[in-house]
Amino acid sequence: MSGSRVVVLGGGVSGLSAALDLVDAGADVTVVEARAEPGGLLHRERVAGVPVDVGVEAVLARRPEGVDLVRRVGLGDRLVAPTAAAPGVWRRDGVRSLPRGTVMGVPGTGTDLSGVLTPEEVARTRSVMTRAAGARARRAPVGPPGSDTGQDVDVDVASVVTREVGPHVLDVLVEPLLGGVHAGRTDELSLRATVPALWRAWREGRPLAQAVDEAAEKAAGEAAGEAAGESARQPAPSGQGAAPVFTGVRGGMAGIVDAAVEVLRRGGAEVRTGTLVTGLARSGAGWVVDVAVGGPHGTSERLTADAVVVALPTRPAARLLAAVAPEAGDLLDAVPVVSVATVALAVASPVPERSGLLVPPHEAEAAGVRAKAVTFSTRKWGWLADEAGDREVVRVSFGRREEEEVLRCPDADLVDLAAGDLARLLAVDGLPAPVVVDGHVARWGGALPQHTVGHAARVERIRRVVSGVGGLAVAGGWVDGVGVPACIASGRAAAAALAGATPAQRRGRAGILPA
């Protein structure tokens, strides 16, 4: 691709990842971002003078893409593990410990559920698991292990989890966990798209608990291997002996964006912010991109390119694709989206010695709480506690499928609502209502695409349609997942697709594009 002009539409982590690979391939790259700053959900604000991640605050450490990107942009020495503080599940009769040995809340055969469920709930759950295991032994798989039979068969999370482990695990663990990640409902979300390891077990006719046990064994083996490797090179982050599940960046995840933009600019790329994409069309063998500088009523400009990466959120991506790949645009437009908000509070009062709280929807409704989760950020991140001094930083999350009306509140009202919800949640621990000294509301309109049943098949079809349009590729949270590693992977796959890389090259971590 040396010398090719490529325009990347969208300056979130998907677009920036695509741009980095394209620059490495020798392309002349321009990144176009509508917001005043690139990064999308990797964004920080100062709350009471403290830098706080108001979007994504960590990446999954055991999937390589996120950690690799941090190191690629020169921030490897700032990787940091969370503290030893653990999350809890909020129930009206007390906060319960989130159990170890689960996959998105689904327990394995030996998972201790006594800390989160009542004795009666534990007994019912184990009874359901025993019956389900017996039924599985007599049931033919949807598709034999290792085959493509049943590859497109999908199912919602709730129906499988309820049948395999019962309603209590669904309500208390799976629903709030998936609600936190996807802001969705388990009776709509795709098992294949959101928890593929459990989907494979279901498709192969195996108990979910068996897949959870296998995942736990794999994670333990990887952690031991990584810890051994780190000990030969350097201490693990935060001085911990084993590799953490999640990792953050000292100073905030938004530092990755700053560093990536600097690497891109040193490589000759242009990163344009405050530039709204208003149109996309073919022009001979290339492309024209219409933009408005300074917002929708700003100065119009036309960019030309040999290739384009559409790495925009779901709705704007669908609108652009509709003009150049109508079937892909229609398929993407049918993907539901959810808006969310994060209220970051600086408080001058005690918070629990926990990293955060998950709030099951049925518990929240009964208690009149609108928040879906809380993060005690200064308990979770040692570097932030050092920055905050005698203040505590708490993030309160709002927004879930069919519960978005709360987001219509003005900022000041949403800060008050967050403080009120936090007071109710803290009361279970016997703590006083928070003394709020500052607050910031970060709104993410339509930010979370819903990976509903059949989503993976829809995405495969969109990719096939787009691949038939020369010089066009797509990336973003709607493609392979909303997490940072999945978004990075989608950006790198888009860059590889434009370069015609082989599957083996696409799987590589670096240098995947031929120059």
Whole-model pTM above 0.75?
A: yes
Q: What is the pLDDT of residues 168-186, one digit of tens each?
A: 999 999 999 999 999 999 9
Q: How far apart are CA 314 and CA 333, in angstroms?
A: 7
| Domain locations along the chain | 5-43+251-336+452-507, 98-215, 341-449
* pLDDT exceeds 70 at position 145: no
The overall average pLDDT reported for the chain is 90
* pLDDT exceeds 50 at position 371: yes
Q: pLDDT band at 243, cuts 50/70/90?
A: low
Q: Write down the CATH number for the domain with range 5-43+251-336+452-507.
A: 3.50.50.60
Q: pLDDT band at 144, cuts 50/70/90?
A: very low
Residue owning tokens 């991109």: 289
Q: Which residue has the higher pLDDT, 367 or 3?
A: 367
Which of 488, 34, 23 shows the shortest CA–CA distance to 261?
23
Which of 208, 201, 211, 207 shows the shortest CA–CA distance to 142?
201
**In this structure, what are the phi and psi dihedrals at residue 314, rounded to the nearest 5 degrees?**
-55, -55
DSSP string, 380-414: H-HHHHHHHTT-EEEEEEE--TT-GGGGGS-HHHH
3-state secondary structure of 80: strand
Instruction: List Cβ<8 Å contacts ≥24 apart for 381-388.
Output: 381/57, 381/80, 381/82, 381/83, 381/248, 382/80, 382/83, 382/238, 383/80, 383/250, 383/251, 384/50, 384/52, 387/50, 387/51, 388/48, 388/50, 388/346
What the block records as the tokens of 191 is 């098992």
Q: What is the pLDDT of residue 133?
A: 81
Buried (b) or exposed (e) across 280-305, using 16+ Cβ within 10 A? beeeeeebbbebbeeeeeeeeeebeb
CB atoms within 10 A of CB 388: 21
* pLDDT exceeds 60 at position 476: yes
Q: How far apart are CA 363 and CA 327, in angstroms?
A: 42
Right CATH for 341-449 from 3.40.50.300, 3.90.660.20, 3.30.360.10, 3.30.750.24 = 3.90.660.20
Longest CA pairwise span in the chain (Å): 69
Mean pLDDT of the 213-228 span: 65
Q: pLDDT band at 146, cuts 50/70/90?
A: very low
Mean pLDDT of the 17-42 span: 97
Q: How far apart are CA 42 and CA 59, in angstroms?
A: 11
Q: What is the pLDDT of residue 298?
A: 80
Q: How far apart are CA 160 and CA 132, in angstroms?
A: 10
* pLDDT exceeds 50 at position 238: no
Q: What is the pLDDT of residue 136?
A: 64
Mean pLDDT of the 481-500 span: 95
* pLDDT exceeds 60 at position 209: yes
Q: What is the pLDDT of residue 219?
A: 65
Q: What is the pLDDT of residues 401-435, one digit of tens each?
A: 988 899 999 999 999 999 999 999 999 999 999 99
Q: pLDDT band at 228, cuts 50/70/90?
A: very low
* pLDDT exceeds 80 at position 235: no
CATH superfamily, region 98-215: protoporphyrinogen ix oxidase, domain 3 (1.10.3110.10)
Percent of the chain with pLDDT over 70: 89
When mean pLDDT is compared across 354-358, 469-473, 510-514, the lowest value belongs to: 510-514
Q: What is the pLDDT of residue 404?
A: 87
Residue owning tokens 């990293």: 355
